[in-house]
């Protein structure tokens, strides 16, 4: 009994003793990590660090406030990068800056050249041979400059940059005006009140005004045509530089080469029929022609500036150029007289290379080279169709300081002994007409409609 009581007391004592602490667990493995401005980044290595209990960490963790403060510069950089990317996208979609990678212009020209000088070519008198200075003589063609009609043409420009910033490029331009002929005609049947119709000239032998009578009442009839022809073309090759490139102002400079060619012609052609006045007199059919051609060919270097001001979809552009060089001038004089006396097959035909104002004393080709200046100005007003295309209307003027023109080359003093239509030519008297190279200026002006693209 005593043994049982002792065992119960022993078990109770053991239960009341304090619990002994267990062995401390090992610390949790900590993966190697790195601290960045964006927070703590765990490394991907499989190795881990086992730190014994109580080991101090070499660097305490950074407070959250410090991490946020450190992240601000990074966020600002990201914001600036996004803004820059957006600006690049908008710039790519907007109008190309500088000269652009490439550009082209297509223009329709409607120009008027300077009036052609024309001496008296056809005159008529009611009572007798027409002579200049007589109160009864009327000049029907000539005696004043002949206004030419408008001429249509085109101009084309192609250019391309050869620098990465599109600040320097090369462009080529070509323009032309189509050949335009203006003709004035006079028939004796249209002027029955002016019975004597002919070509007037000054006689150096008698020193008085005279004329070749081609139509007279009841004896002959005639028709005289006087025509003028003008055509022009040119080309340029320029190095272009973008001097100023702002949102509403662009200034471009150019330097290069200019070629300009102007050809003009003047032709007088008369057809006449001499009817027999009496029996036994054969009928004579004839043609008399004078041809005067003037050619100008300019080559030189040029400089220019272009000012382009825009506001919204509207723009105004001024182009100014000046070229200095040499103009090669050519004057060519030709004549022809064809007559047929009597009718076929018994008619007598004759043809000689002379007319009225074109005689052996001045027929030929004459040349000279002179210094000349070619300035050009153009004012454009237009609309932007989109970021890369523009439509415009413009006024353009092109000037040549030294030129030859066909009407100025006619010597109206003619020795009648050289005129085939007046009979057998003789060489008596002065050698007139004389060859001349009379110089003047020349210009073309008019309207321009164009479409411009820049890429």
**Higher-confidence residue: 423 or 258?**
258
What integer best gives the mean pLDDT of the chain?
A: 83
Please tell me the predicted confidence (pLDDT) of residue 422: 78
Is the pLDDT at 117 greater than 50? The verdict is yes
Please tell me the predicted confidence (pLDDT) of residue 275: 76
Is the pLDDT at 202 greater than 50? The verdict is yes
d(CA 113, CA 91): 44
**Higher-confidence residue: 388 or 335?**
335
Is the pLDDT at 100 greater than 80? The verdict is yes
Please tell me the predicted confidence (pLDDT) of residue 9: 46
Is the pLDDT at 297 greater than 80? The verdict is yes
**Higher-confidence residue: 295 or 340?**
295
Please tell me the predicted confidence (pLDDT) of residue 305: 97
Highest mean pLDDT among 89-103, 189-203, 214-228, 325-339: 325-339
d(CA 317, CA 249): 10
Average pLDDT of the residues in 63-75: 52
Average pLDDT of the residues in 222-230: 93
Please tell me the predicted confidence (pLDDT) of residue 144: 86
Please tell me the predicted confidence (pLDDT) of residue 278: 61
Percent over 90 (pLDDT), the chain: 55
**Higher-confidence residue: 275 or 37?**
275
**Higher-confidence residue: 70 or 127?**
127
Q: Which pairs from 130-139 meet CB under 8 Å and 24+ separation? A: 130/196, 130/197, 130/198, 130/200, 130/211, 130/213, 131/200, 131/208, 131/209, 131/210, 131/211, 132/200, 132/202, 132/209, 133/209, 134/209, 137/200, 138/194, 139/200
Residue-wise pLDDT tens digits, 123-182 = 999 888 898 888 889 999 998 888 778 899 999 999 999 999 999 999 999 999 998 888
Is the pLDDT at 60 greater than 60? The verdict is no
Average pLDDT of the residues in 335-362: 84
Is the pLDDT at 204 greater than 60? The verdict is yes
d(CA 450, CA 380): 9
Domain chopping of the chain, boundaries:
102-454
Please tell me the predicted confidence (pLDDT) of residue 5: 44
Residue-wise pLDDT tens digits, 429-453 = 889 999 988 999 999 999 999 999 9
Per-residue confidence band for 194, with pLDDT thresholds at 50, 70 and 90: confident
Is the pLDDT at 2 greater than 50? The verdict is no
pTM: 0.76
Is the pLDDT at 273 greater than 60? The verdict is yes
323: β partners: 302, 374
Q: Are 197 and 126 in contact (CB under 8 A)?
A: no
Average pLDDT of the residues in 311-339: 95
**Structure tokens that stand for 302 in this block:** 């040029």
Per-residue confidence band for 85, with pLDDT thresholds at 50, 70 and 90: low
Distance of CA 146 to the CA centre of its chain: 27
Is the pLDDT at 26 greater than 70? The verdict is no
The vertex-161 CA angle with 86 and 303, nearest 5°, equals: 125
Average pLDDT of the residues in 220-244: 94
Sheet (strand 122-125) strand order: 137-141, 122-125, 196-203, 208-215
**Higher-confidence residue: 317 or 144?**
317
């Amino acid at each position: 009994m005593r043994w049982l009581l002792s065992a119960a007391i022993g078990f109770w004592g053991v239960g009341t003793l304090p619990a002994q602490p267990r062995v401390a667990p090992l610390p949790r493995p900590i993966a190697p990590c790195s601290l960045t401005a964006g927070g703590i980044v765990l490394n991907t290595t499989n190795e881990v660090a086992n730190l014994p209990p109580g080991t101090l960490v070499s660097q305490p963790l950074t407070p959250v406030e410090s991490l946020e403060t450190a992240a601000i510069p990074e966020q600002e950089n990201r914001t600036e990068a996004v803004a820059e990317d957006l600006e690049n996208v908008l710039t790519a979609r907007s109008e190309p800056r500088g000269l652009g990678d490439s550009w082209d212009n297509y223009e329709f020209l409607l120009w008027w050249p300077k009036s052609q000088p024309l001496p008296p070519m056809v005159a008529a008198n009611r009572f007798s041979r027409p002579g200049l200075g007589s109160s009864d003589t009327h000049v029907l063609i000539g005696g004043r400059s002949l206004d030419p009609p408008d001429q249509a043409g085109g101009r084309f420009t192609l250019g391309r940059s050869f620098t990465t910033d599109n600040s320097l490029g090369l462009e080529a331009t070509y323009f032309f005006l189509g050949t335009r002929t203006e003709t004035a005609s006079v028939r004796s049947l249209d002027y029955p009140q002016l019975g004597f119709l002919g070509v007037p000239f000054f006689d150096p032998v008698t020193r008085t005004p005279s004329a070749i009578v081609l139509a007279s009442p009841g004896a002959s009839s005639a028709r005289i045509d006087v025509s003028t022809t003008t055509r022009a073309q040119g080309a340029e090759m320029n190095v272009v530089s973008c001097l100023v490139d702002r949102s509403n102002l662009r200034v471009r400079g150019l330097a290069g080469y200019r070629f300009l060619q102007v050809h003009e012609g003047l032709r007088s052609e008369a057809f006449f029929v001499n009817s027999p006045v009496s029996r036994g007199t054969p009928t004579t059919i004839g043609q008399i022609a004078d041809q005067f051609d003037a050619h100008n060919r300019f080559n030189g270097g040029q400089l220019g500036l272009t000012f382009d001001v825009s506001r919204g979809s509207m723009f105004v552009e001024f182009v100014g150029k000046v070229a200095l060089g040499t103009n090669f001038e050519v004057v060519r004089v030709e004549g022809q007289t064809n007559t047929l006396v009597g009718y076929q097959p018994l008619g007598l035909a004759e043809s000689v290379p002379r007319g009225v104002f074109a005689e052996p004393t001045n027929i030929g080709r004459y040349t000279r080279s002179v210094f000349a200046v070619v300035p050009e100005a153009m004012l454009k007003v237009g609309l932007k169709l989109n970021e890369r295309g523009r439509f415009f209307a413009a006024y353009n003027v092109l000037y040549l300081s030294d030129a030859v023109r066909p009407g100025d080359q006619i010597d109206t003093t003619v020795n009648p002994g050289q005129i085939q239509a007046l009979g057998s030519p003789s060489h008596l008297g002065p050698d007139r007409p004389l060859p001349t190279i009379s110089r003047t200026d020349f210009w073309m002006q008019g309207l321009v409609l164009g479409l411009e693209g820049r890429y």
